[in-house]
Structure 1
Amino acid sequence: MWNHEYTGETTAAPEAVWAVLKDIDDWARWDTSMEAVSLLGAFEVGGKVSMTPTGQEPIVSVITDIQDGVRYADETEFEGVVLRFSHTLSPRGDGGTRVVHRLEISGPQADRVGPELGPAITEDFPQAMAALLARAVDLAAGTGTDGATGGTTGGGAR
């Protein structure tokens, strides 16, 4: 197995961050690694999401966990690996939010594929996190200030 986490914090309340995450059809506006993202059906466990990474073919992920206002997770299976992505929100004492974005690569080919594929996928986590949090601040406050900070809290093969 291979996994990586990236943590960011924002002054925006968890509800504002959740509103951005939940609006899957809008992800490509703030996640610059995506050409297009669309929800295929309902926003519920078992629902599907079509994602077109920049310069690549579309992939379809399955929503595996939704805890309203707290956690969103999906997974994609291909070529002997399962990619599990999650965003977990925690309220801060000052009304802001801490967000952990995690990728876990498992499956029969994970030990072979993970160390190469994982860093390629997660290299944009800092930019994507900053954009997510900036969008949440904009949504909550209607300002251009991003109010977001981020930092790596782990990574690599484990």
Structure 2
Amino acid sequence: MWSIEVAGECAATPAQVYSILAEPQRWSEWNPGVLRIEMHGSFQSGTTAVMVLPDSTTLPFRFAWVEADRGFEDVTELPDAGAVVRVRHELSPTERGTRITYRCEIDGPEQVTEELGAAITSDFADVISALGARAELLGE
């Protein structure tokens, strides 16, 4: 299994950050790696969705865990690559506001997981920063 964890902090509360995450249809407003999200239900565990990337690639996924003000985890199966990608987006209160942690785990052949992992997580720091900045606007 391949894994990495990337974290950042913002001055917004976990509830403010979560309110941004809880609207997947609007992720493209702050995450340039997402063209759109097509939801097949509400933002809760078990719901499936499709992420459409800027190059029109589609990635079906499901929400495996969703907890208000704490975060969520999504799971994407990539059968052609023989891999399963799990990304956990976790919110923790801090003295300053919120620690936002993205943890990516990929199960599959080692050569595939390393390449996928690098591609999937290359923008995590920027995405976390943009998410935090957007949530901070809610607090103003």
TM-score (ref. length: structure 2): 0.93
CA drift at 1:71? 2.1
Match of 1:83 in 2: 85
Identity across matched positions, percent: 34
Q: Which moved more, 1:10-19 or 1:52-61?
A: 52-61
Which whole-Å CA distance do the structure 2 matches of 1:42 and 1:136 have between them? 21
Match of 2:98 in 1: 97
5 Å-filtered alignment, 1:18-37, equals 18-37=18-37
Q: Contact (CA 8 Å) 2:23, 2:43: kept in 1 or not?
A: no
Q: Which amino acid aligns with 2:18?
A: W
Which whole-Å CA distance do the structure 2 matches of 1:120 and 1:37 have between them? 19
Q: Which amino acid aligns with 2:100?
A: V
Q: Which amino acid aligns with 2:92?
A: S
Which whole-Å CA distance do the structure 2 matches of 1:60 and 1:69 have between them? 24
5 Å-filtered alignment, 1:1-158, equals 1-78=1-78, 79=80, 80-94=82-96, 96-107=97-108, 109=109, 111-141=110-140
Match of 1:149 in 2: none
Aligned residue for 2:55, secondary structure, equals: coil
**What's the Cα RMSD here?**
1.1
CA drift at 1:116? 1.1
Aligned residue for 1:4, secondary structure, equals: strand
Show structure 2 runs of 5+ residues with no match: none
Q: Which moved more, 1:121-130 or 1:37-46?
A: 37-46
Which whole-Å CA distance do the structure 1 matches of 2:117 and 2:30 have between them? 21
Aligned residue for 2:35, secondary structure, equals: strand
Aligned residue for 1:7, secondary structure, equals: strand
Which whole-Å CA distance do the structure 2 matches of 1:104 and 1:56 have between them? 24
Which whole-Å CA distance do the structure 1 matches of 2:88 and 2:118 have between them? 16
CA drift at 1:40? 1.6
Q: After the TM superposition, which parts of structure 1 deviate over 3 Å for at least 4 consecutive aligned residues? A: none
Q: Which moved more, 1:41-50 or 1:1-10?
A: 41-50
TM-score (ref. length: structure 1): 0.83
CA drift at 1:38? 2.8
Which whole-Å CA distance do the structure 1 matches of 2:132 and 2:86 have between them? 21
CA drift at 1:76? 0.5
Aligned residue pairs, count: 138
